[in-house]
Structure 1
Amino acid sequence: MTTTSGTTTVRRTGEHDAARIAALRRAWVEEESGHLVDDDGFEDRFAEWYAEEAARRVIFLAELGQEPVGMVNLVTFTRMPKPGRAPSLWYYLGNAFVLAGHRDRGIGTALLETAIGYARERGAVRIVLAPSERSRPFYRRAGFGPATMLLVKEPVR
């Protein structure tokens, strides 16, 4: 699936995109921490994680030309079969990020619309996410609301 909005292209990633996604993940962490993060093994660990997660995770990449500028992913949860009910699935939407210099240009919206379209095409019963305080208005504008049917327990540390 590829969609284009202006000069931004949003596409599903493939097996050769690990380094591009890892670069965005590094940029995200460095933006949040306010400094460069020295971790020489990160890219290798990321590539291993990406290969392991490929069967259950769909990642979409936003690009301006060949430059990766944003990403979002969906983790697939397939429901246990139940007699008398058609098979179903739902998605957890996570790791939504757009580089700071490219925000407020519709890139996040294009990524989100692509992810929602993907889930809709597959008949998902819901998309769940845990928004940051900063992203809550963005998701509310896209039609997301409180998850009144879910419960959460934080693990004891």
Structure 2
Amino acid sequence: MNEILYRKTTKDDMEILMKLRLEMLREVNDLSGEYEYDEDFISESRRYFESGEQTTVIALDGQTPVGCASLSYIWIMPTFSHPTGNRAHLMNVYTRADHRRRGISKKMVEILIEEAKENGVTEISLDSTKMGRPLYEALGFKASDSCMTMEL
């Protein structure tokens, strides 16, 4: 195996991003490798990556993409604890099974955390799988009792 290289993606990386995202979603949702995604889902995912309101990092083993992680930027009404209203949501953190337990996801998330700090983000939220929780706790994320959601 080669040294893992990390870089922020550009629009030229769309096919890599889509392949890794769909691969990750198949695994997380326990779908077969033949599962076909709805065209609207695919086009909206592409639109998300093209929007510029996110940063995605990919990990490469040589020329082979082996992981990705995305940070979506959110601007909300300022609060006393977050006076700028600059927040972010971490998602799509994925490392291929044959490259896990090598610190790849950790490094990608650390790169995104540093960028968030540089951009004045005051809070990063995330939704975690059971498998991902130890990583996020090791990086300093804490579970919250204050968040409530409503499915629409």
Normalised TM-score (structure 1): 0.80
Distance 2:145 2:96 in 1: 32
Aligned residues: 147
Structure 1 residues not aligned, in runs of 5+: 1-5
Q: Which residue of 2 aligns with 1:74?
A: 71
Secondary structure at the counterpart of residue 131 of structure 1 = coil
The one-letter amino acid of 1:57's match is Q
Pick from 127, 130, 134 the counterpart of residue 130 of structure 1.
127
1:103 equivalent to 2:100? Answer yes
Aligned sequence identity (%): 25
Q: Deviations over 1:15-42 (max 9, x none)?
A: 1111101111232234342631243876
Structure 2 residues not aligned, in runs of 5+: none
Larger Rg: 1
Q: Which residue of 1 aligns with 2:11?
A: 15
Shift of the 45–16 alpha-carbon distance from structure 1 to 2, 3 Å rule, reads: farther
Q: Which residue of 2 aligns with 1:120?
A: 117
Shift of the 97–52 alpha-carbon distance from structure 1 to 2, 3 Å rule, reads: closer
Distance 1:142 1:29 in 2: 23
1:86 deviation in Å? 5.9
Distance 1:36 1:99 in 2: 14
Distance 1:132 1:139 in 2: 10
Shift of the 140–16 alpha-carbon distance from structure 1 to 2, 3 Å rule, reads: same
Pick from 24, 27, 43 the counterpart of residue 23 of structure 2.
27
1:65 equivalent to 2:62? Answer yes
Q: Deviations over 1:98-148 (max 9, x none)?
A: 000000011011111011111111111100011111111111111111123
Distance 1:152 1:72 in 2: 23
Distance 1:150 1:120 in 2: 22
Q: Deviations over 1:61-114 (max 9, x none)?
A: 1111111111111111113368xx963401000111100000001101111101
Between 51-60 and 126-135, report the one with greater CA deviation.
51-60
Secondary structure at the counterpart of residue 128 of structure 1 = strand
1:55 deviation in Å? 2.5
Superposed CA RMSD: 2.6
Q: Which residue of 1 aligns with 2:138?
A: 141
Secondary structure at the counterpart of residue 9 of structure 1 = strand
Secondary structure at the counterpart of residue 27 of structure 2 = helix
